[in-house]
Structure 1
Amino acid sequence: MVINEFLPLVEDKRHSLGYGFPVPNQFKDSQPKGETHYDMVKQLKTNPITHEQLVPEVRGIYRGLAMVEEKCIKLDKEQSESKEDLTPVQWQALISIHSTLLHEHHDFFLSSQHPVAKSELTELAEKYSMPARMWRYGIHSLLELLRHKLPGSLEYMLHFIYIAYSMVTLLLENIPYFRETWIECLGDLARYRMAIEESDMRDREVWATVSQYWYNQEADLSHDVGRVQHHLAVLARPDALAQLFYYTKALLCRRPFHNARESIALLFNSTREQQRQESMPAALIATHGVLFHKNASAEFTVLANNYLSLLRKEIPQLDTQGQGGAFVMSSNFAAVFQYGEPENDLALEFPQQKTQATAEEAYQLALRWTTPASFDDASSELIPNPVEITSKISSPVAFNGSALTFHSMAVFLDHLGDPNSYAGIHTGLSFVWSLAIHPLAMEKLEPMIPWLKIIRFLNILLRLETNFEMIEGPSHPRFSRENENIRRRNSIRIERESTTEKGSEKQDERLEPEIPDHLPEDFLIRGQVWSELYYSEGFFEGGPLEHDRSFVEPQLLEFVRQHRCLWLGVRLSTVCRNSLCSLFDGKRTTMS
């Protein structure tokens, strides 16, 4: 009986609350007469915006933005010239107007980069340098004003950094077209936050890590931009060797950051003030300082020999991931290029402008060039004035830098069987290969290359497990076939463990890690003028980004570096016929 009483209510849709539920009797009389009720609310009608509607919208936003921007510029200039401290109300007003400018920029980018916008609108942001203007007038000018008013402005500076950081993060998510700019802005903001943190060293370290994270992301996207490398050098403190590497890379990038010369000079001066250089990095920096300032050759020789002696001792302590060896060798290459001076001895062979030739075209050109024979072994000490070598190198800095480079390489080559030396050797061989595909550059430097040590090292590398098909191939060794077998074995192992009978002892077997195609030093040396043709087009496509590069097992790195060095040796033997004619020493026949 109770159910039958409610049946009419369910059937009568006029008494529904909108979602198919029956309306109790007490609510029937309260509903307005003549009003129709529906089970579901209809979707509201929306009219999609058109390009023609966006045009006046963007114009209006830009007019407002320009007015606020002009006001910000005026206020920042007035306050920067004033020596009086600002009141809390004035600080809040300044932060408020700059926040308004950031919101205006946000609206401008959303409107001008709308999916229906045509090129007439989408190109406005680049045409009027809107990302740069947002950073310069909306963020940087106020941050600098706040920084100069420290410590009284600390609270307001923290507040504004968080406002700007959240706004740029929003732009990174919504306007990916300017992704590189937003990432650099986030790195800069994190660096400001790190710099003003003096009370809590843990927070300072956290923000330094955040800043490095963003700069490394930008370096992955723009690996040939020297400015990013300079940022990383600043954050590398107190690691002096890493600082030296990033500063020198900033000078040798395809798009160099010339202001790095001032920063690296400060690094050299701070090391020079030390009475003794008892560590290899300090000795290396002191040696480069003499070269950079073009001081006496005799002083350079003393410092260089001290550095080489320390390098021999410290190679076993270098990290197995390869940063130490790559840092040392790459920094030395900067001396060969006279620290990025426009008129350096190799400027014509390695121009700053991006070359149109491919790696294969450069290789074919090198095949038509035969180098002169030179089998003199490199001595353990630097030779102060070898006239027969300097005849082809006009600059004393370039000559001494070349001597430093190849004597360092000889020291690495002497550590036979030590995997810690492989990263430095691979970096050195990649530089020699880059010289080989630039014949005029090779002609200048070939007499200084320790060919006999290279031949001995490569012959010792040959093992029973060496894949000759890989090292004799036209491109960098890839391990897709080996990784496919590893994945198959891992799959079988997982299946076997999952089907293990309950109660039995489960096998605790680690899955085999896959063999990487990229080495850690690949990401360090790319982007420099000399390494452009070392990597074939598309080599880094699909490679891991900085934050995705996990620790690689030392045994795997050793295996990959061995094949990479042997591959370089084979390539060199085809273009430097006289110098590397005895590369395999007949071992191919006995081992195959």
Structure 2
Amino acid sequence: MAQKSWDEEALQLQPPWGEEFPSKKSRITPLTGLAAVNFNAYVHGNYRAPPAPTGRRKALFIGINYLGQVRHLKNCINDAKNMSLHLFENYGYKREDTVILTDDLHNPMSQPTKQNILTAMHWLVKDAMPNDSLFFYYSGHGGQTKVLDGRYNAAIYPVDSHEVGHIVSDEMHRIMVTALYPGVKLTTLVYSHHPSSNSGSCSAELLNSQASQLRGALPSKHNKCKRIMLSGKRCNAEFSRIYDLRRHEDTIHNAARKILRCQNRNIDTKQEMAPPTVNPLKDMPMAGHRPISREEHVTLIKETYSSLVIHENKCIKEYERHTQLRKDTPPGSLPELKDNECRDLIARYKSLLDMHVDFLMACHSRYATPKMRLLPLEYKMPGRLWRHAIHSLLEILRDSLPTAQVDFIDMVHPIMTDLVEQVPEFKNNWTECLGDLFRYRMSAATFRDDWVDDAGTARQWYLKTATQIPETGRLYHHLAVVARPDELQQLYYYGKSLTVAKPFTAARKSIMTVLNRSPDLPVIRAILRSHAVIFKGTPLDTDNEALGEIESNLDRHIANITKDYLVEGYCIAICNGIALLGYGALDNPLALLLKPQSSNQGTLMPEASSTTLSTAALRLFIKTTQIHLLRIGDMNILSFLHVTLVFVRHLSYHPSAASLVFPYFPWDSLVDALNALNVVPSTHEVIESPAFPGFNSDLSRLDTPQLTDGAQQHIEGGNEAIEPLKYTTHPFPEDWAMQGLPFTLEYFPEGWFVERNADPSAHYLETETISSQHRPVRVLWLAVAISRSAEEWMAYRGGCFSVGEKGKRGLCHYN
């Protein structure tokens, strides 16, 4: 499907981002200055204020500046704090009956995350009695989203909304209003920035429990709840509107599912809901639950799966019908779905998704037997969930109703993020699905900023998955798609998807979309042209021209972008290695020679003894390496050199493979560059040690790279001895980029990537310490390792490198 232009149509889902609040430098003074706001709560729909409350006062204040995020705000934290001070001083509220959630606090339970906000809302209304006065204040991003019945629902955006989604006003109403007794006064003040204006909009929603009853027409059999209760029986409750049915499912059945989650995790429910001791939320208990019998549990699983299969077959038939309709309809004339048809479709697929989640939670309950826990894997439930409950509907809505597609994605997103935590056995499936969701969201974007935001979120989910299963090529194909318009990144990801242990062969077609492009930068354009010659096997005349452009422009390009070249450098080096390995081609001579052999690994294979390497790939490898090595003293080329030496080291352990490359390698330039590198004298021992530099299994989980203090002492024969300094560091950005490639299999020690569960964006952060201290050490360590395994090509003695006897006879330049 062709990408839409940014201004083709407006999104119905209004994003929360926009300009920031107007600055407020002084504390809030008289509340009476705000029109239409009476801070003694009044009855909803009645503008006469009742007598002042005589009961207990409780307040919840939320202020979110979105610190460190792209669309940050400036004054929301101050708003929340100033409002709390005003209520303390003028309205009799006490600090011990107040919760403040702001994103400048270090305590994780005081952060305004979605979970903490929902928990705090429950605390606010817990045990509220008539004449009590409750106050809710929010300052942060706000927006609107279209719900199933066609209404636009207001929403607030927690600090982690980009991961777990927003909180809609219906959910806030359900938590803070429907549970209240008549006579409880609740005041809500939401000061949110909305993208439709350039300033924050101050709105007050002052609600009373007496107005919370639902009003509707007579029940309709069309909106019947078909969920399975814990007793094993079908619910069969009927509702007049699909909206009321969804609310019933969320408040009744999903609550029961949360109970199962708590039982599954075997966590004390009171502890799970308890924030730190300084927070009044610590005393909030979770609703009690009745343990279910084994028979009830078996019935629950059977009934849930039976209903799931019925709904799944209906959804499959619906998808097949739309697929056939798309084939039979001329391009551009596919009829749009009507609103009621769209709502019915979303409701049907949402019900199937809920059944999948119910089945997964039941199979992973604490009452489940080992055989029950294997059922989701046996029946391939993760794949079926994505294919039939999510992907099928996204494809149906993709061409006809992209805005409805976005609504459905926003509905599914929090469910999938919940599965990441609650069913970790399939965590990699869920995180990949989350990346796919945001790829679909990209296709519906009408503005470039939305497209960029969705692409960034998809990339984070894919990287999170790829760090767990780096040998899976499909993930790098996904990353290449969301890397647009960076052609070099795309070339790297497509090439990696073809070269890892489980290659994604469809990438051979996708990579051509990059190789046929003509970027603005001459050096990137020349690199793509050279790779196109290698990949397609075209005549070398075209390659001569491309190599000439690389020689003319690469050195200047490195000098112009300085530190930014560290990323481009390791991408170019990895692409060089991938090209030499034939982009995963099974008949590539170098790849054949590098395959592990049962015996005589270093001898020439008979079928490979007379083979020759791709001339164009070898020329590109040698030419780019020579250009980098001539930039002596430039620390910005060390990421390229690091990756290149990892590849050379791997070749040095396979003499037959090395014989295809080493005679042409510029050993003299490499020696000059290595001898010019300066490192701390204390690291010379690290460089010459066979152990991987900076790796310490006891210290590998430290937050920052460091030189550890050698303060541990022990007594031997009455004399104190101090252990030497232990040099430790963490994976470099190019380490994560190389992870999973065949020439790194024997490079990284086991346990090196211990931070795989951290935020993937942190893996690719370049620090000054890495650039100036740790990367030079790693490069020199690799060079020493190469000198040990290929001394005839490069030697190391007395802290100095020299060209070996074979290296002196090498051609150095490949013509």
Match of 1:23 in 2: none
Question: Residue 496 of structure 2 aligns with which residue?
Answer: 249
Give the corresponding residue for 2:516.
Answer: 269
Give the counterpart of 2:690 among 462, 471, 474: 474
Equivalent position of 1:115 in the other structure: 366
- Find 1:532's aligned residue among 729, 745, 749: 745
- Paired with 2:621 and 2:466, the residues of 1 have a C-alpha distance of 25
Q: How far 1:542 moved relative to its partner?
A: 4.0
Instruction: Give runs of aligned pairs for residues 574-589 of structure 1, distance below 5 A.
Output: 574-582=788-796
Partner Cα separation in structure 2 for residue 238 and residue 173 of structure 1: 33
1:322 aligns with 2:535: no
Q: Structure 1 residues 68-77 or 339-348, which shifts more? A: 339-348
Task: Report if aligned partners of 1:466, 1:563 keep a CA contact under 8 Å in 2.
Answer: no
What is residue 508 of structure 1 aligned with on the other side? none
TM-score, normalisation: structure 1: 0.75
User: 1:347 pairs with 591, 598, 603, which one?
Assistant: 591
Distance 1:587 1:465, change over 3 A: farther
CA change 1:139–1:583 in 2 (3 A) is farther
Residue 143 in 1 paired to residue 394 in 2? yes
CA 1:58–1:569: 2 relative to 1, 3 Å: same
In 2, the alpha carbon distance for the partners of 1:393 and 1:429 equals 26
Counterpart position of 1:66: 309
Cα deviation for residue 134 of structure 1 reads: 0.8
SS of structure 2 residue aligned to 1:301 = helix
- Matched-pair contact (CA < 8 Å) for 1:422–1:558: no
Tell me, yes or no, if structure 1 residue 402 matches structure 2 residue 618: yes
Equivalent pair of 2:435/2:457 in contact (CA under 8 Å) = yes
Q: How does 1:110-189 map to 2 (within 5 A)?
A: 110-149=361-400, 153-189=401-437
Match among 351, 376, 392 for residue 100 of structure 1:
351
Paired position in structure 1 for 2:736: 523
Structure 1: which amino acid aligns with 2:571? F
Q: CA deviation at 1:402?
A: 2.1
Unmatched runs of 5 consecutive residues or more in structure 2? 1-126, 128-285, 330-334, 700-704, 712-726, 803-815
Amino acid at match of 1:208: A
Partner residue of 2:681? 465
Which residue of the other structure, out of 326, 332, 338, is the alignment partner of 2:582? 338
Q: Distance in 2 between matches of 1:296 and 1:127?
A: 51
Secondary structure of 1:444's partner? Answer: coil
Instruction: Give the match's secondary structure for 1:49.
Output: coil
Measure, in 2, the Cα distance between the counterparts of 1:392 and 1:223.
32
**162-171 or 550-559, which deviates more:** 550-559
Is structure 2 residue 533 aligned with structure 1 residue 286?
Answer: no
Q: Which residue, out of 545, 549, 558, partners 2:772?
A: 558
- 1:314-339 CA-partner distances (Å, limit 9, x unpaired): 12225357211101111111211111
Q: Distance in 2 between matches of 1:567 and 1:44?
A: 59
The Cα offsets for residues 60-99 of structure 1, whole Å up to 9 and x where unpaired, read as: 1111101000000111111222244332222211111111
Give the aligned partner of residue 36 of structure 1. none
Per-residue Cα deviation, 1:367-398 (whole angstroms, up to 9, x for no partner): xx699xxxxxxxxxxxxxxxxxxx967356x3
CA distance in structure 2 between the aligned counterparts of 1:370 and 1:574, rounded to whole angstroms: 18
Q: 1:167 to 1:220 in 2, by over 3 A?
A: same
Structure 2 letter corresponding to 1:405: F
Secondary structure at the aligned position of 1:581 is classed as: strand
- Aligned match of 2:480 in 215, 218, 233? 233
Question: Per-residue deviation at 1:208?
Answer: 1.7
8 Å CA contact retained: 1:525, 1:531: yes
Question: In the alignment, what sits opposite 1:493?
Answer: none
Q: For structure 1, which runs of at least 5 residues remain unmatched after alignment? A: 1-18, 20-42, 372-390, 489-513
Following superposition, the deviation at residue 140 of structure 1 comes to 0.7
Q: Amino acid of the residue matched to residue 483 of structure 1?
A: Q
Q: Deviations over 1:453-499 (max 9, x none)?
A: 222222222556361210111222117799355799xxxxxxxxxxx
Alignment of 1:373-412 (within 5 A): 394=611, 398-412=614-628
d(CA) in 2 for partners of 1:464, 1:170: 47
Describe the superposition over 1:173-219 as per-residue Cα deviations: whole angstroms up to 9, x where unpaired: 21111111110111111111122111x33222222221111111112
Q: Per the alignment, in what secondary structure is the counterpart of residue 539 of structure 1?
A: coil
| CA distance in 2: counterparts of 1:587 and 1:424, whole angstroms | 19
Answering whether residue 318 of structure 2 is matched by residue 75 of structure 1, we say yes
Query: How many aligned residue pairs are there?
Result: 483
Cα pair 1:169 1:182 within 8 Å, conserved: yes
SS of 1:250 mapped into structure 2 = helix
The residue that corresponds to 1:219 in the other structure is 466
Pairwise CA distance, 1:296: 0.3
The one-letter code sitting in structure 1 at the alignment partner of 2:648 is V
- 1-side partners of 2:674 and 2:644: how far apart? 13
Q: What SS is found at the alignment partner of 2:403?
A: helix
Whichever residue aligns with residue 270 of structure 1, its letter is R
Q: What CA distance in whole angstroms lies between the structure 2 residues aligned with 1:88 and 1:309?
A: 59
Q: Deviations over 1:421-459 (max 9, x none)?
A: 111111100110111123332232221222222222222
**What one-letter code is carried by the residue in structure 1 that aligns with 2:658?**
M
Determine if contact 1:233/1:243 at 8 Å carries over to the other structure. yes
Aligned residue for 1:507? none
Give the strand-richer structure, 1 or 2.
Answer: 2
Q: Distance in 2 between matches of 1:239 and 1:416?
A: 28
Spell out the pairing of 1:480-559 with structure 2 (5 A cutoff): 483=706, 516-542=729-755, 545-549=759-763, 551-559=765-773
8 A Cα contact 1:321 1:552, kept in partner: no
**1:422-461 aligned within 5 A:** 422-461=638-677
The Cα of 1:550 is off from its aligned counterpart by 7.1
| 1:399 shift after superposition | 3.1
Secondary structure (helix, strand or coil) at the match of 1:541 reads coil
Contact 2:693–2:728 (8 Å) recurs in 1: no
- CA gap 1:46/1:243 in 2 versus in 1, 3 angstroms: closer
Higher RCO by CA contacts (8 Å cutoff, separation 6 or greater) = 1
Task: Find the aligned partners of 1:519 and 1:416 in 2 and give their Cα distance.
Answer: 21
Contact 1:322 1:520 (8 Å CA) reproduced: no
1: CA distance, partners of 2:541 / 2:797: 36
Local SS of the residue matching 2:706:
helix
Counterpart Cα distance in 2 of 1:300 and 1:394: 21
Do the aligned partners of 2:706 and 2:728 also contact (CA within 8 Å) in 1? yes
Other-structure match for 1:299? 542
Structure 1 residues 204, 475: closer, same or farther in 2, change over 3 A? same
Kindly indicate which of the two structures has a greater share of residues assigned to helix.
Answer: 1
Deviation at 1:299, TM superposition (A): 1.7
Q: Structure 1 CA distance, aligned partners of 2:801 and 2:621?
A: 30
Cα shift readout 1:281-339 (whole Å, capped 9, x = no counterpart): 11101111111111002221221222232212212225357211101111111211111
Q: Flag the 1:245–1:124 CA change in 2: closer, same or farther, 3 A.
A: same
Q: Which residue of 2 aligns with 1:30?
A: none
The alpha carbon displacement at 1:533 in A equals: 1.1
Report the Cα distance in structure 2 between the residues aligned to 1:558 and 1:51, rounded to whole angstroms.
Answer: 62
Question: Do the aligned residues in 2 keep the contact of 1:168 with 1:186 (CA within 8 Å)?
Answer: yes
Matched letter for residue 434 of structure 2: L
Displacement of 1:167 after TM fit? 2.0
Please, which of 336, 356, 375 is the counterpart of residue 85 of structure 1? 336
